[in-house]
Structure 1
Amino acid sequence: MSDGLPPCEIAWFSALCDDDYEFLGVPDPMLKSSWEHCRDIVMQAETGGFDNILLPSGYELGIDTTAFAAAIAAETKRINLLLAVRVGEMWPPQLARQIATIDRISGGRLKINIISSDMPGEKLASAPRYQRTVEAMAILKTMLNGETLSHDGDFWKFDNLAPPRVKTVSGKVPPLYFGGLSEDAREAAAKGCDVYLMWPDKRETVAAIIADMKERAAKHGRTLRFGYRAHVIVRETEAEARAYADRLLSKLDAAEGAAIRAKSLDSTSAGVAAQAALREGAADDGYAEPNLWTGVGRARSGCGAAIVGDPDQVLAKLNDYRAMGIEAFILSGYPHAAEADLFARHVLPRIDHAAL
Structure 2
Amino acid sequence: MALSFDQLFGGRLRFNVVNGSTKSLQEYGLHVEHDERYELSAEYWSIVKRLTAGEVFDHRGRFYDLKNAGASFRELKPVQEPHVPLWFGGSSAPGIEMAAQHVDVFLTWGEPPHLLKEKLEQVRARAAAHGRTLRIGLRLHLIVRDTEDEAWAAADRLLDVTSEATYARQLGDRAGEDGVGWQRQFRQHGGRVPARARELETHPNLWPGMSLFRPGPGTAVVGSTAQVIERLKEYQELGVDTFILSGNPLLEEAHRVAETVLPALGLRR
Q: Calculate the TM-score normalised by the size of structure 1.
A: 0.67
- Residue 223 of structure 2 corresponds to which residue in structure 1? 309
Aligned ranges for residues 140-289 of structure 1 at < 5 Å? 140-162=48-70, 164=73, 165-170=75-80, 172-261=82-171, 267-280=177-190, 285-289=199-203
1:215 to 1:350, Cα distance in 2 relative to 1, 3 A: same
Alignment of 1:11-30 (within 5 A): none
Contact 1:264 1:301 in 2 (8 A): no
Name the CA shift for 1:208/1:158 in 2 (closer, same or farther; >3 Å): same
Is 1:272–1:301's contact at 8 Å kept on the other side of the alignment? no
Distance 1:230 1:267 in 2: 21
Unaligned runs of 5+ in 1: 1-97
Q: Which structure is higher in helix share? A: 2
Aligned to 1:291: 205
CA shift digits 1:151-204 (9 cap, x unpaired): 211111123323532233235412110001111111111110111111111111
Q: Which runs of 5+ in 2 are unaligned?
A: none
The answer to whether the aligner puts 1:324 opposite 2:238 as a matched pair is yes
What's the CA shift string for 1:281-330, capped at 9, x where partnerless? 99961211110012111102321110010010000100111111001111
Tell me which residue corresponds to 1:20.
none
Q: How many residues align?
A: 257
CA distance 1:266–1:181, shift in 2 (3 Å): farther
Structure 1 residues 115 and 265: alpha-carbon distance in aligned structure 2, compared to 1, 3 A threshold: farther
Matched residue SS, 1:329 = strand
Give the CA deviation at 1:235: 0.7
Distance in 1 (alpha carbons) for counterparts of 2:185 and 2:70: 42
Q: Does the alignment pair 1:114 with 2:17?
A: yes
Which structure has more RCO (C-alpha within 8 Å, separation ≥ 6)?
1
C-alpha displacement of 1:104: 1.7
Shift of 1:262: 5.0
* Pair 1:135-2:135 in alignment: no
Q: Secondary structure at the match of 1:301?
A: coil
Q: Find the aligned partners of 2:67 and 2:237 in 1 and give their Cα distance.
A: 45
Q: What does the per-residue CA deviation read over 1:231-269, in whole Å, with 9 as the maximum and x for residues that have no partner?
A: 111111111111000001102233422313555799541
Question: Considering only aligned residues, what root-mean-square deviation do their CA atoms show, in Å?
Answer: 2.3
Using the aligned pairs only, state the percent identity.
36
Once residues 176 and 264 of structure 2 are traced to their aligned partners in structure 1, the CA distance between those partners, rounded to angstroms, is 35
Distance verdict in 2 for CA 1:352–1:284, change over 3 Å: closer
Which stretches of structure 1, 4 residues or more, deviate above 6 A after TM superposition?
281-284
